[in-house]
Structure 1
């Protein structure tokens, strides 16, 4: 499969252009300006970086509830359109604007969108045609309203205090994902959903036709693995939306079947060319996309990938960068995926963030499973429920076709439902969002409320930051110990299971643990912390080896998610520094994360099995290991 650079790699069309770069900018703290002609722009900003970030060129971290952007859009020759769109339409795309966005083109309101993590579009065909006729640019203005202290909207890790504290980080206001312009034909593929099914050996396709639809139009699909054609399909459209099954030739024996299946160690993708044809057979529109053959689920207390048990080795990924906050370049996103794989992990839990589609693309291509988690609000109100539910539905719609996503996580640690154990409305909400997610996508597991206080989930997840590895073994070392822990030990002083919900044969995962803080000299202790702390690289490696050895020895677990991939502002418990350099030998950490012996050239005893790391700890620190008399 070719390597794409398109902002929307699952619906890639040839004619598009990035509008990232220098835009005019203004703060409007009092919300005084109501119309684009009122705005007095007094500075410039580098889109798509938030004004709080260094890369934006502004770096103002104060409270700014309203901001404005302006751009004179000079159209290129191949973007000229007529008022009625006879030669195509111009669509303006916003990857994400935090939180409520209004967009004007030449003074006309062309889009309004709420939700800081999902994309939206504006059709500017009419304004563009007039600008071309008058030989001038299109004047674009964007207003972003983002109350920094509103706890009822999905905000994830964005702090509501002036200075970041505890586990919350700097705010992100306004445009923070790419802005781009697309020239589409008069009739075009507006939506495309592809889902490979290894059990049925088929690809399910859904599509919507935008613009002008005419009877007699046809859809042609070509599916390939590399240069090998797997299927060609062509059929007449009876209406402007379609649902279709494309059968694939069954290779027969497992060796050939396995060669087509996607997994982290073999991330094979199936490319798709989808064409919209006129009645005379002419190609009206063409997009490129991809899918994969793979299934995920749970059965018999295990997570299942492609019908086989798979022990998940994941890492918590906050998705922040020191100079750019939640925004990253494509190269930075790819490097994070590569580093996650080099550290021995096969998955990432994207924590409290909906990441750019470019990140998911690299996960698809390079082989990294993803738990996608909705950013939380922090209050329970009817408005908060409506906001999260609406935006979560948009998240699933955007990302459902990515093979790398293997679980959905709508809520975390009872954030936004603080009275879950005692308030029936809170429990009903968690159950409702769980079943809504299962309805929108029955093909993936759903974790209703990650970490504790489960009332509806396909995987029982536990957050346990016990610093002593022997404590983890005592809680999860066997199936029997794990059952006792789930029923009443409350590892984080929270019940794992609420009355009425039984673990039954649900897989159990330690979905947050670790958090070992090690930071270099010169970083003040008062602004750097972790769940446990060490003071040297040697102690950091020892603590990591001992902890991972204990977790790999826990027979009551079906997987884990280690906290965390990188240091993130004041939270210094990453395996990598904020600049993504490793805190210790990458190979040693990787083999530890995989439950393997240490490499021979590191000075560590290569004959030690994972449980033997505890002996090394005892020799150096005089502490017993789990299971010692």
Structure 2
């Protein structure tokens, strides 16, 4: 009997008790529906954990498995959820096509109630396409050539996040958008229901196990919103801003139970949570909870040697977050990836800031742009409720918009993504094009891999020095756009390869710069970090990177999560301390 992998609830911030994992062994085949192989879902066939471990390109793959739905759910609706399937897929249940979805980085759900048999075996088949050479397809770091190299890695094809069934009543809570109103000491709930519009909608809020308040509304239809005051003189948490707000240092969360009721009984129940925190930019400064906050981020690309983009276990997410915090970082750039909601959940509860990105395409076209808009919208809406996310980053280093310096259409695309994001979420800053060639974003972010410390430090002496520096030879702003006092962040730097600790063949290893010993590694890190910490211009940074990946061996950790320096040494460097390290 194969143990079901990744069997934890896939969506912990909107959770019902009635669900069933479909992870595990599926029938599988390349190219045609022969189903002559077995694959362990949710791991892609290119990974060793899948049981196949083949990295040859296959643009079409097929999945099949059977499942049964207990008779107890006969009067409920059955929803089939996919965490992510790269890139496009057709879903068939009991021989009938029920859905087509395009976009390899976001979740989707199919109501299969009308197609299933209760108490009997049902069959689901997926036909997945992932055209490896289509550079207009958002893909992130998945390489389109046979051998990964430089900053590009092994591709991931097909199902790479959990598949699961959810059982809901005929009338149910479809979604709740949760917005912390920090300055009002309140929270806003915007709900959407399905089914009977004449039911009552109840929200019961708890803090650290103590009931705070219960609010019940009678909807006039299937949509509505209301606000709830979270502080009053009767609860023991009298100082709201000291006792009840969320930050990396104190990741306090409120629990909330949403209940749909008829006059006679409970119809539907969903468990969720939220954090009271505010992000804003005022007078050229990034603020967290109305206070200046220096962001110390590390670039985290979320790869594992045995499972690629999919975490091998839920505990692997926790390990990465705990290692990140132990090294003195208060956040991550989740780079070129839409991360699993389980990671965001752990970042919420453990306290870690997240800059949320999406995998880029590499050629601009109308097809690319429309794909990007659809997938980016789904990404923002799905993860809106996570307090850990403090910044949205739709574009990186002009990938997908290579001619943005001169192309008005590509400039409009960058601006459109910013405006689109703000139309969906007005509570978070948006970076238009991280690294260089900015348009209308909320921060000026710079990528700088200069290895000579004196030169690196000179770039951030003042604004005049910054304008003289051209990252990768590119302008900070494209024509028609200019700096207007945005916070300055060095959102990529470092990338140092330590030759004393190699995890793959030395001839293939790569880094932006290299050092020969652990002592030299720690000293160089200290000088680079010090240059930014002492700069009066820079308000935060993001070091490249958390782990080695493939031949890019410039991580603070190996791909197996072994630290290359003592965690305490890196933490001290983050805090501006001179490293004390014996020669290695």
TM-score relative to the length of structure 2: 0.95
After TM superposition, the structure 1 = structure 2 runs for residues 545-560 of structure 1, keeping only pairs within 5 Å, are 545-560=526-541
* 1:24-65 deviations in Å (ceiling 9; x for gaps): 00001xxxx5xxxxx221010000000111110111111100
Cα offset, 1:78, TM superposition: 3.7
In 2: Cα distance, 1:603 partner to 1:100 partner: 52
State the partner residue of 1:21.
24
Cα 1:485/1:379, change in 2 over 3 Å: farther
Contact kept in structure 1, 2:504 and 2:551, CA below 8 Å: no
User: What is the SS of the residue equivalent to 1:90?
Assistant: strand
State the partner residue of 2:573.
592
After TM superposition, the structure 1 = structure 2 runs for residues 132-211 of structure 1, keeping only pairs within 5 Å, are 132=119, 136-210=120-194
Q: Which moved more, 1:392-401 or 1:492-501?
A: 492-501
Q: Does 1:61 align with 2:55?
A: yes
Cα 1:185/1:586, change in 2 over 3 Å: same
Contact kept in structure 2, 1:486 and 1:497, CA below 8 Å: no
State the partner residue of 2:483.
503
User: What is the SS of the residue equivalent to 1:55?
Assistant: helix
State the partner residue of 2:471.
491
1:313 alignment partner, one of 284, 296, 301 = 296
Q: Does 1:74 align with 2:76?
A: no
Cα offset, 1:77, TM superposition: 4.8
Cα offset, 1:386, TM superposition: 0.2
Contact kept in structure 2, 1:487 and 1:497, CA below 8 Å: no
1:45 alignment partner, one of 36, 39, 46 = 39
Contact kept in structure 1, 2:185 and 2:240, CA below 8 Å: no
State the partner residue of 2:444.
460
User: What is the SS of the residue equivalent to 2:298?
Assistant: strand
Contact kept in structure 2, 1:195 and 1:292, CA below 8 Å: no
Contact kept in structure 2, 1:295 and 1:307, CA below 8 Å: yes
State the partner residue of 2:4.
none
State the partner residue of 1:620.
none
Cα 1:377/1:21, change in 2 over 3 Å: same
1:249 alignment partner, one of 217, 228, 231 = 231
State the partner residue of 2:81.
93
In 2: Cα distance, 1:433 partner to 1:282 partner: 44
Q: Which moved more, 1:236-245 or 1:580-589?
A: 236-245
Cα offset, 1:527, TM superposition: 1.2
After TM superposition, the structure 1 = structure 2 runs for residues 464-483 of structure 1, keeping only pairs within 5 Å, are 464-477=448-461, 481=462, 483=463
* 1:85-109 deviations in Å (ceiling 9; x for gaps): xx21111110000011111110011
Contact kept in structure 2, 1:193 and 1:207, CA below 8 Å: yes
State the partner residue of 1:227.
209
After TM superposition, the structure 1 = structure 2 runs for residues 404-423 of structure 1, keeping only pairs within 5 Å, are 404-423=388-407
Contact kept in structure 2, 1:97 and 1:175, CA below 8 Å: yes
Cα offset, 1:518, TM superposition: 1.4
Cα offset, 1:131, TM superposition: 4.9
Q: Does 1:10 align with 2:13?
A: yes
Q: Does 1:295 align with 2:283?
A: no
2:250 alignment partner, one of 234, 241, 266 = 266
Contact kept in structure 1, 2:197 and 2:220, CA below 8 Å: no
Contact kept in structure 2, 1:313 and 1:594, CA below 8 Å: no
* 1:600-620 deviations in Å (ceiling 9; x for gaps): xx569xxxxxxxxxxxxxxxx
Cα offset, 1:214, TM superposition: 3.7
Cα 1:283/1:527, change in 2 over 3 Å: same
State the partner residue of 1:282.
265
Aligned Cα root-mean-square deviation (Å):
1.8
Q: Does 1:445 align with 2:433?
A: no
In 1: Cα distance, 2:15 partner to 2:118 partner: 27
User: What is the SS of the residue equivalent to 1:364?
Assistant: helix
Cα 1:115/1:89, change in 2 over 3 Å: same
Cα offset, 1:200, TM superposition: 1.4
State the partner residue of 1:538.
519
Contact kept in structure 2, 1:102 and 1:109, CA below 8 Å: yes
In 1: Cα distance, 2:240 partner to 2:89 partner: 50
In 1: Cα distance, 2:555 partner to 2:294 partner: 22
After TM superposition, the structure 1 = structure 2 runs for residues 378-417 of structure 1, keeping only pairs within 5 Å, are 378-417=362-401
In 2: Cα distance, 1:75 partner to 1:219 partner: 28
Cα offset, 1:300, TM superposition: 1.8
* 1:259-302 deviations in Å (ceiling 9; x for gaps): 11100000000111000111x15210000001111100111221
Q: Does 1:578 align with 2:556?
A: no
In 2: Cα distance, 1:535 partner to 1:221 partner: 58
How many residue pairs were aligned?
574
State the partner residue of 1:124.
112
In 1: Cα distance, 2:457 partner to 2:101 partner: 48
- Structure showing greater radius of gyration is 1
State the partner residue of 1:238.
220
In 1: Cα distance, 2:241 partner to 2:259 partner: 28
User: What is the SS of the residue equivalent to 1:167?
Assistant: coil
Cα offset, 1:568, TM superposition: 0.8
Contact kept in structure 2, 1:318 and 1:352, CA below 8 Å: yes
* 1:528-567 deviations in Å (ceiling 9; x for gaps): 1100011222221121122212221111101000000000
Flag structure 1 segments of 5+ consecutive residues without an equivalent.
34-38, 82-86, 605-629
In 2: Cα distance, 1:269 partner to 1:6 partner: 19
Contact kept in structure 2, 1:299 and 1:505, CA below 8 Å: no
State the partner residue of 1:428.
412
In 1: Cα distance, 2:505 partner to 2:455 partner: 30
State the partner residue of 1:612.
none
